[in-house]
Amino acid sequence: MTANTQAKPGERLRALKGHAQDLRRAIVSMVHTAQSGHCGGSLSAADIVSALYFDIMNIDPSQPRMPGRDRFVLSKGHACPVLYGALALRGYFPVDELSTLRKNDSRLQGHPVSTYLPGVDATAGSLGLGFAQAVGMALEGRMLKAPYFVYALLGDGELNEGVVWEAASTASKFGLERLIAIVDRNNLQNDGKADDIMPMEPIDKKFEAFNWRVLAVDGHDMAAVLAALEEARKPAGKPTCIIARTIKGKGVSFMEDKREWHGKPPSDDEYGIACKDIEGGCV
């Protein structure tokens, strides 16, 4: 079940923006406490994940394996702080557990593991393989005539992986119209600008060449994100790719569009600045 089904349009947007800020607070707090982890790509995806977990997806934290639930695959698994934050804030596990990120024996490891934590639909880490799993889930749903949608969140640098395009071809062949891929297009990866490492434009034309429906959106405009996700759920006879233009490190002044914050934890002083940058501060 969605979280905002009865909200009026203005209230809906305000609530989702608030959830996105909560996610950003959780992300920087987790990574600061662990002194390890990935802030940049988690922060860039916070608005998208907020829209999915607090509005769009049919999920029920009390039934994390509900057969008809929508599935979410974080294919760029290193950005797991944004997923862990969403799951905790939706009630899949206690919020206090977020402080155990990357600790020994924690259920919140550096990449999501489906057997560890309720609400994690796929183990991810090696880039591209999460997306391939999402295609498999969507194919199962088609074969079973199941009602669920499968959402896969990819990094733009992840598109360098050949398995992404093998999976995209498979999704097209089987007309997996309940598969929705979202590309977090922040144009930064660990080694530099994504387009410098491996030029990838035109991303839209590439997915269209694989017979996907393609939508483009400002990934930090909540109204636009919602509209794109709702459009993507309409039957098209083919899978849909949403290209979300985002800013790595969004919401924290010194992290925005900075490559070094791909996988760097903030110091105590930096954490204080980040908390001030994020509306409402951190706890």
Q: Where are the domains of the chain?
A: 9-277
Stretch 101-121: mean pLDDT, rounded?
A: 96
Q: pLDDT at residue 235 above 80?
A: yes
Stretch 126-139: mean pLDDT, rounded?
A: 97
Q: What is the pLDDT of residue 4?
A: 57
pLDDT, tens digit, for every residue of 143-170?
999 999 999 999 999 999 999 999 999 9
Stretch 262-268: mean pLDDT, rounded?
A: 96
CATH class of 9-277: alpha beta
Q: What is the pLDDT of residue 125?
A: 87
Name the band, by pLDDT with cuts 50, 70 and 90, for residue 106: very high
Q: pLDDT at residue 136 above 80?
A: yes
Q: What is the pLDDT of residue 279?
A: 77
Q: What is the pLDDT of residue 8?
A: 81
Q: What is the pLDDT of residue 5?
A: 53
Name the band, by pLDDT with cuts 50, 70 and 90, for residue 271: very high
Count of alpha carbons within 13 Å of 187, Cβ hemisphere only?
Answer: 13
Stretch 16-28: mean pLDDT, rounded?
A: 97
Q: What is the pLDDT of residue 191?
A: 87
Q: What is the pLDDT of residue 2?
A: 62
Name the band, by pLDDT with cuts 50, 70 and 90, for residue 1: low
Q: pLDDT at residue 214 above 60?
A: yes
